[in-house]
Amino acid sequence: MLILTRRTTIAGAFATLATAAHSAPQPYRLLKDKSTVTFTFLVNGSAQTGRVPVSTADIRVDPGNLARSSAEVTADIREARTGFGPVTQALLSASVLDAKTHPVVSFRSTRIRLGAQGRISEGARIEGDLTLRGVTAPLSLDAKLSRPAGSAPDDLSELYVDLTGALSRNTWGASGYADFVADGVRIDIHAEIRARA
């Protein structure tokens, strides 16, 4: 997960643009080489981290009404890797992610809950559906939206989207190796996006 220490939030820019007329949320293109999904889980009590590249992302941002924004992200789970070969092999096996049978994992937002003042910087949550191993179940993620440091407050041409949360792998039937691997998994999605011309 990237730490956004030098990135400023765009809540102010959104507040400025809130009175502007926008007929529909604006589409953004995913910068694949700068975007990824990171997951962390415990094996015999020791943290293991894996990554899988983002395959596609349909992200739409409505500066005038952030609750109308949406995100749909997919990844090819067959490309998931951890730092240790045997752990990766077990992860992709039929009893855990079943990557051979169900290679695509996807998250589609269904609702965005903004902070008390209608800002995404005040504890926004994205509710949606995660499809994994062919099973679709609800998942709620914390959301941050920011822009590159040094960019003008009204420049929304490039944005950073960060989604974080946790899930129970048993919910999706990924319950293999239960004697060694904890049920809880932390998810961190980082996407860098650019407005479509």
Per-residue pLDDT 10s for the chain (197 aa) are 333 333 333 444 444 344 344 458 999 999 999 988 999 999 999 999 999 998 888 889 887 788 899 999 899 999 999 999 999 999 999 999 999 999 999 999 999 998 777 766 667 899 999 999 999 999 999 988 888 889 998 888 998 888 899 999 999 999 999 999 999 999 998 889 999 97
Nearest residue to 93 via CA among 74, 110, 107, 80: 80
d(CA 182, CA 86): 17
Q: Which helix (H) or strand (E) holds 113?
A: strand 104-113
Other beta carbons less than 10 A from residue 157's beta carbon? 13
CA distance 172 to 185: 12
Q: In b/e form, how buried is each residue of 10-36, taking b as 16+ CB within 10 angstroms?
A: bbebbeebeeeeeeebeebebeeeebb
Task: Tell me which CATH code domain 9-17+25-195 carries.
Answer: 2.40.128.110
Amino acid identity at 91: L
- Please count the other Cβ atoms lying within 10 Å of the Cβ belonging to residue 139: 23
- 195 within 8 A of 156, measured Cβ to Cβ: yes
User: 80 with 174: CB under 8 angstroms?
Assistant: no
pLDDT on residue 18: 42
Contacts of 46 (CB under 8 A, 6+ apart): none
pTM: 0.83
SS3 assignment, position 95: coil
Q: What are 193's strand-pairing partners?
A: 30, 159
**Number of neighbours of residue 2 by Cβ within 10 angstroms:** 13
Closest to 70 measured CA to CA, from 60, 82, 80: 60
Angle at 185 between CA 37 and CA 168, to 5 degrees: 125
